Structure 1
Amino acid sequence: MNITLENAEKMISAAKEKAVAINTKMNIAIVDAGANLVAFVRMDGAWLGSLDISIKKAKTARFFDMNTGSIGELSQPGGSLYNIEHSNGGLITFPGGIPIKNSNGEIIGAIGVSGSTVENDHAVAEAGISAL
């Protein structure tokens, strides 16, 4: 099962509202269960470099079915996933990517957000998740 475009758009809307509320400009990406891009928005003035990061955060969260910040903790020197960011054409291993689950707990996609501090990126991603 995959996230629908309708639900992806709801998530983007909620994420944008949160970004505005915390006075930041974000790139927001939603991928489906196969890590294919379903929806994307770049808020006016959001960093161009964060466009790619937001998509890679969403894909990373889906590839490993965990928050990107958790992968980051495991990928530190000496960690069990050290250097994983070099796999899969490049991963992003800091906060802002979260798997999306349906009401049965099945992963149907992921959201990735980039454009501010990792704390803000994660908060905006969580706001998108909460829209479902």
Structure 2
Amino acid sequence: MTIEHIPIQEIHCSVLDFPEYCSGFLQLNERKLLMTSEIAQTVIATAQAKAAEGGFAVSITVLDTTAHLVAFHRMDGAMLGPIDVSQKKARTAALFQTDSLQLGQAAQPGGAIYTLENTNGGLISFGGGVVLRDKNGAFVGAVGVAGATVEADEDIAQAAAAALKA
């Protein structure tokens, strides 16, 4: 059997037989699985309710720890432009495990990470992209909200993230 036919988990854990690496590999896989569709739907429902309270129609993106899409929702009446913006806000938070608003403070002209938005296929460095953590503080993904004011996007995303800790 050639190595191309062996599943990657077997390559890392059985063929190479490095227990400490195998353990790390399995832990990484477990972290990737922390985001479920059920969690994503909770995040979306919370964000949607908070947006409706403020009279906003927004786009909501939920990504896993690898910055891949788990769920997306565009509320009735939401504009088209915020679809991409919500995805980039969530991607920013997921890739750097830091809220987009916090990154934005250092991404201003003259800042240490100015032009960061031009990396990774396009990022966003203003409010509305929030890291998602479970009750134990483990990173499970990110949410991006766009379509209201920047301040309201941030508030909605923070409320959605807080739902996971309740």
Task: Count the aligned residue pairs.
Answer: 132
For 1:1-132, list aligned pairs within 5 A.
1=31, 2-132=34-164
Which has the greater radius of gyration?
2
In structure 2, runs of 5+ residues without a counterpart are: 1-30
Over the matched positions of the two proteins, sequence identity in percent amounts to 45
- The separation in 2 between residues aligned to 1:24 and 1:75, in whole angstroms, is 27
* SS of residue matched to 1:113: strand
Query: Residues 70-111 of structure 1: CA distance to partner in whole angstroms, max 9, x if unpaired?
Result: 111100111110110000011011100001112232211000
1:14 and 1:32 map into 2 onto residues whose CA distance is 17
Q: Which 10-residue stretch deviates more, 99-108 or 85-94? A: 99-108
SS in 2 for 1:76: coil
The one-letter amino acid paired with 1:108 is V
Instruction: Name the TM-score, length of structure 2 as normaliser.
Output: 0.78
Give 1:31 deviation, angstroms: 0.1
Deviation at 1:64, TM superposition (A): 0.7
* Alpha-carbon distance in 1 for matches of 2:141, 2:74: 19
Q: Give the match's secondary structure for 2:136.
A: coil
Query: After the TM superposition, which parts of structure 1 deviate over 2 Å for at least 4 consecutive aligned residues?
Result: none
What displacement does 1:113 show?
Answer: 0.2
**Cα deviation digits, residues 48-71 of structure 1 (max 9, x gap):** 000000011001001111110111
Q: CA deviation at 1:131?
A: 1.6
Higher relative contact order, structure no. (Cα contacts within 8 Å, ≥ 6 residues apart): 1
SS in 2 for 1:34: coil
Q: Distance in 2 between matches of 1:70 and 1:129?
A: 15
Aligned equivalents of 2:140, 2:109: Cα separation in 1 = 31
Instruction: Tell me, in whole angstroms, the C-alpha distance in 2 between the residues paired with 1:116 and 1:11.
Output: 17
Aligned mates of 1:36, 1:99 — CA distance in 2: 14
